Structure 1
């Protein structure tokens, strides 16, 4: 989904494993610099984790977002729910791309997380 681009990650000392932990991502795609900073807002291992953007993300097809997952309670069949709520980007050019490609990218993110979880527990 990065069209050959790459993202680098910068973690704080908690490495995204506690509420309040910060993760910064920066990269480029098609010559455009992208960046986003996320903060972990909830973490209840191993059942729930939620994170959201902090500040103004510089992304192409989605803007600020809140994303996370939750796993069903013990004693029930295992069920994973992955979610994302997002705004469209604030730039004029991205406002055109957001409605066209934002839902596709958000769907890819959610499916990727679900697939990674399923692969991990097989």
Structure 2
């Protein structure tokens, strides 16, 4: 599937690819920025629900639920690529109920670099399918997408800062 928009963040991390992958393979840790109220979340937050595989195998399901400004948000995802310690990719299932981005494909890639790793976090996404989403998505979606991938990369780098 092709998407109309994308964002990515690349950073160096002071951890081996294996150690970094193990940390990022924990979906709740990877998306911890979504679980805390923030300006980008307009004071709202999302909580994770994982299947028995905890998002660590192809086909594993992940659900996020939450609210922003009193609006209920939901998204269901499935792991579509899982190759430790190199890459993990997940995609939305169905039509997500989100405000500024619609369906997406998201993931990370890790490459050994010196004594550590280079991490690339990416998202490819569409604008929301709702009428309101088609209006605010092109305006706020790119800001939100950049924030999200940058937070994931920065949080990983901070976790292993020496």
Q: Same fold (TM over 0.5)?
A: yes
- 2-side partners of 1:83 and 1:27: how far apart? 22
State the partner residue of 1:114: 153
- What do residues 51-85 of structure 1 show as CA deviations (whole Å, max 9, x unaligned)? 11011100000000001111114778631111110
Q: Which of 25, 31, 40 is matched with 2:70 structurally?
A: 31
The SS at the match of 2:89 is strand
- 2-side partners of 1:74 and 1:7: how far apart? 33
Aligned pairs for 1:6-21 (under 5 A) are: 6-21=45-60
- 2-side partners of 1:105 and 1:75: how far apart? 32
* Unpaired stretches in structure 1, ≥5 consecutive residues: none
Work out the number of aligned pairs and report it.
122
Counterpart contact for 1:16–1:40, Cα < 8 Å: yes
- What do residues 15-57 of structure 1 show as CA deviations (whole Å, max 9, x unaligned)? 1111111010111111111100011111112221101101110
- 1-side partners of 2:159 and 2:84: how far apart? 16
Counterpart contact for 1:47–1:73, Cα < 8 Å: no
Matched, 1:100 2:136: no
- Bigger helix share: 2
CA RMSD of aligned residues (A): 1.6
Q: TM-score, normalised by structure 1?
A: 0.93
Matched, 1:2 2:2: no
- 1-side partners of 2:117 and 2:66: how far apart? 36
Q: TM-score, normalised by structure 2?
A: 0.71
- 2-side partners of 1:30 and 1:86: how far apart? 23
Aligned pairs for 1:47-66 (under 5 A) are: 47-66=86-105
